[in-house]
Chains A and B, each alone.
Chain A
Amino acid sequence: MNTVIIFALLVVLMLTGMPISISLGLTVLSFLFFLTQVPIESVALKLFTGIEKFEIMAIPFFILAGNFLTHGGVAKRMIRFATSMVGHFHGGLGLAGVLACALFAAVSGSSPATVVAIGSILLPAMVRAGFPNRFGAGVITTSGALGILIPPSIVMVMYSVSTNTSVGALFMAGVIPGIVLATMLGLLTWYRARSRDYPRQPRVSWVGRLKAFRDSFWGLLLIVIVMGGIYTGLFTPTEAAAMSAVWAFIAAVFIYRDLRLKDVPRVLLASANMSAMLLYIITNAMLFSFLMTHENIPQAMADGMLGTGVGLIGFLLIANVLLLAAGNFMEPSSIVLILAPILFPIAVKLGIDPVHFGILMVVNMEVGMCHPPVGLNLYVASGITRMGITELTIATWPWLLTMLVFLVLVTYWPPLSIWLPQQLGMVTAAR
C-alpha cells in the first residue's frame, strides 16, 4: 500500500512539471510527515551525507573536462583525423562522424555534449559536401549517444553510486559494446550511403593521416590518461576525472590555443551550473532511496517479482520495456537514480552480473536520448540542423532500429559486456 502511495505521489508531483529533484524531495518529506512516525529531523542528516562520497565527485570533473574539450578545438581535430582515416569510403563524412563521435565519447562522459561537439562542426560540412540534411542528422544524433556508453560516462558513475558497483569495472565493460555499436552504426551508414551513391572524400595519404593524428594527439592522449590510469591503478576514477579536466584545460588553452584564458571562468561557471544540477538530483534521489529502503520497497518488489515466477529472460524483457518507457519522460541521470535501486536487487537475486546490468541500463538510456518526446540528443541535433523534431525522428529511425537490435544483443549476451572486465580481473567470474 505504501509503495503505491509513494509512487503515485511521485508521479503526480512530477507531472505538474516541477523539477524532478524537487518532486523527489517533496515526495519523501510529505510521506514521512503524514504517514510515518519517523522524525523528520532524520532527513536532515541524510541531506548532508547524501553526496559525501568521493566517487560522486567524478561527475563535476568529467563535466568540466567535457566543456574544455568542446570549446577547446579538440573536437575539430578529432573530426579532421577521422575524416582522413575513413573519408574515402562511401558516405565518407558520415562514417567520419561515427568515428569522431566514438573518439570524442572516449574523452567525454555525456551524450548531448558529444552531439554538440561533433555535430555543430560536421553537420554544416556534410550539407556543403552534398549530403541530405536528414542523413547527417540521423548519423550524428545516434552516434552521439555513444558518449555515455564508451567510457568515461557520467551515467555509469550514477549507476555505480546508486548500486555500489565498481566504476572502473563499468568503464572497462563499456569499451567492447561501444566499439561494437560504433561498428554497427558505421556499417549501416556505409550501406545506406553506397546504395544512394552519396559523395566520398578524396583519399588521404598515410603522411596526411599521420599529420592529422599528430594534430589530434594531445586530445587523444586523454583516453590513455583516463583508461590507462584507472586500469593500471595509478588513479581512482575520480582522480582520473580530475586529471583529465586539468589536461583538457592545458590542451585547450596552451597547446591548441583555441580557448582564451579569459574565457576560462565562463567555462568553470557553466560546468559548475550543470554539475550542481546533477548533484542536486543525486541528493534528492538519495533521500528517495532512503525512503524506499526504510519502507522495504526494493526487497518487497524483488520478492513479488520472483514470486510470479518470472525467469531471467522475462525479467530482462520487463526491465528493458520499463527503462525504454521511462526514457520517454525523463533524462538518463534521473531514470538511473530512481530505477536502479528498484531493479538492481531483483537482478542480483536472479544472478545477473551487476556490471552487465549496468551496461544494459546505459544502452537503454542511449536509445531514450534519441527518440521523442524528451530525447536530448534529438533536440540538440534539431537545434544544429534546424530540422523539426518529427522530420528528425524519421531521419534517425534506421540507426535507432540498429540500436534496438544492439540492445537485444547486449541484454541477452552478457559476455559482450563482462568479458573484458573479467579478463582484467575486475569482476569475479560469472556464477
Chain B
Amino acid sequence: MLKVLDHLEEWLISFLMGAATLIIFAAVVHRYLSGFAIPGVQDWLLGLNLGWAQELCIIMFVWMAKFGAAYGVRTGIHVGVDVLINRMHEGRRAKFIVFGLLAGALFTGIVGTLGATFVWENGAHHAIFHALGVATDTPEGPTTPDLEAPTWIVYSAVPLGSYLMCFRFLQVTWGFVRTGELPHHDQGKVEGLDDDSVPPPPGEEDKIYRMDDELHPRDKGEPR
C-alpha cells in the first residue's frame, strides 16, 4: 500500500516536471512557427490558441512543488541549520531532531487544514454538494483566468500536498525513533547514473555521496 503511494508520488512529480517543460517548449515553438507563411499549416497554427500554456505550467509546477516537497521529506533534501545541534551529545541531539521533524509535521498539518478550509469555502462545497444533488445556497467558486478551471481544484494541491508532507514527516520521525536512521540527500547525484571515471577503492564506493557536512543531520551514533 505504502509502496503504491511512493511510486504514485514519484511518478506524478516526474510527469509534471517533464510535461510542463514540453508545454512551454510547444508554446514557444508555436508562437514562432505561426509567424511563417506556410500554406495550410499557418492557418491551422493560428487557429490553435496556446494562451493557456503559461497558466497551466504554473499550476503544474505548484502541484509539483507541493508533492515534491513531500517526496523531499522522504529523501531528506530539506536542509536546516544543524551546526549547533551537531555539536551536542547523542541523546540531546536525537531529541532535537525529533523536535524538528515533529515541528515539520505540525506546520504542514496546520497548513493542510488552512488550505482545506480555503478550498472548501471557495467552491469545493458548492461543487461537491451540487454533484451529489444536495441543494445548498453556497456560492459557486471562482475560476482561473485562462483555463477557466475551478480554482478549488487547482488549489487542492495545498491541502493534499501538505497532508502528504505531514504524513511523511511522521513516517520519518517514526523511522528515526525506531532505527536511528534519517534519509540523506546526495547533492548533485542522480539515482542510478554513474560516470565511467576511476572506480573508488572497495568500501568507499559511496564516499562521494556521503554528506559528512553540517547541512545534514547525522544518524544516531554516526561519528562526527
Chain A nearest CB: distance from B142 CB in Å?
12
Inter-chain contacts of B104 with A (CB < 8 A): 18-19, 22
Chain B contacts for A243, CB-based, 8 A: 25, 28
Is B163's beta carbon under 8 Å from chain A? no
Chain B neighbourhood of A266, CB < 8 A:
190-193
Q: Nearest-CB distance from A331 to chain B (Å)?
A: 6
Question: 8 Å CB contacts to B: which residues of A26-52?
Answer: 26, 29, 40-41, 43-45, 47-48, 51-52
**In the complex the two chains form, what is the Cα distance from A18 to B73 in whole Å?**
11
A289 to B197, CA, bound (A): 45
Binding site for A on B (CB under 8 A): 10, 13-18, 20-22, 24-25, 27-28, 32, 54, 57-58, 61-62, 64-69, 71-72, 75, 77-86, 96-97, 99-101, 103-104, 106-108, 110-111, 114-115, 117-118, 155, 158, 185, 187-193, 195, 197-198, 204, 207-215, 217
Closest to A378 in B: B213
The answer for the CA separation of A64 and B24 in the assembled complex, in Å, is 14
B191 touches A242 (CB 8 A): no
- Looking at the assembled complex, report how far the CB atom of B87 sits from the nearest CB atom of chain A, in whole angstroms: 10
Find A51's partner among B62, B72, B79 (CB 8 Å cutoff). Answer: B62
Residue in A40, A234, A277 whose Cβ sees the most chain B Cβ within 10 Å? A277
User: With A20-B81, A263-B192, A267-B190 given, is the CB distance from A273 to B68 under 8 Å?
Assistant: yes
Interfacial chain A residues near B190, Cβ < 8 Å? 67, 70-71, 263, 266-267, 270
Query: Which residue on A lies nearest to B55, using beta carbons?
Result: A54
Q: A15-B84, A61-B21, A266-B191 are in contact. List 16 more A-B contacts (CB 8 A).
A: A15-B85, A16-B96, A17-B85, A19-B78, A47-B111, A60-B61, A64-B21, A67-B190, A70-B188, A120-B195, A121-B197, A268-B17, A269-B13, A271-B17, A273-B77, A279-B64
* B83 contacts across to A, CB distance below 8 A: 329, 373-374
Contacts of A253 in B (CB 8 A): none
* Min CB–CB distance A137 → chain B (angstroms): 13
> In the assembly, what is the distance between CA of A47 and CA of B159, in Å?
10
Instruction: Please indicate which of the listed interface residues B54, B69, B78 has the most CB atoms of chain A within 10 Å of its own CB.
Output: B69
Question: Among B71, B107, B197, which residue has its beta carbon within 8 angstroms of that of A276?
Answer: B71
| Residue of B with least CB distance to A117 | B188
Q: A21–B28 contact, CB under 8 A? A: no
Chain A minimum-CB-distance residue to B16: A272
Q: Tell me which of B14, B96, B213, B214 contacts A272 (CB under 8 A).
A: B14
From the candidates B24, B58, B67, B189, name the one contacting A242 in the complex (CB within 8 A). Answer: B24
A67 CA to B66 CA, complexed, in Å: 21
Q: Which of A22, A120, A384 contacts B103 (CB 8 A)?
A: A22
Closest Cβ–Cβ distance, residue A387 to chain B (whole Å): 11
**Contacts A44-B117, A60-B17; is A112 near B57 (CB within 8 Å)?**
no
Q: Interface readout for A230-265 with B: 1 if CB under 8 Å, 0 if not?
A: 000011001100110110000000000001000111
Instruction: Please determine whether B103 and A41 come into contact, CB atoms closer than 8 angstroms.
Output: no
Query: Are A276 and B79 in contact, with the CB atoms below 8 A?
Result: no
21 A–B contacts from the bound complex (CB under 8 Å): A14-B80, A25-B111, A44-B118, A48-B62, A51-B62, A56-B61, A71-B193, A120-B195, A121-B195, A124-B197, A238-B24, A242-B20, A242-B28, A267-B193, A268-B14, A272-B16, A273-B72, A277-B77, A279-B61, A279-B65, A379-B213
Interface string of A270-286 (1 = CB under 8 A from B): 11111111011001000
A269 close to B208 (CB less than 8 A): no
Cβ of A61: which chain B residues have Cβ within 8 Å of it? 21, 24
Q: Once the chains bind, are A383 and B208 in contact (CB under 8 Å)?
A: yes
Q: A26-B103, A276-B64, A380-B187 are in contact. Are A124 and B78 (CB under 8 A)?
A: no
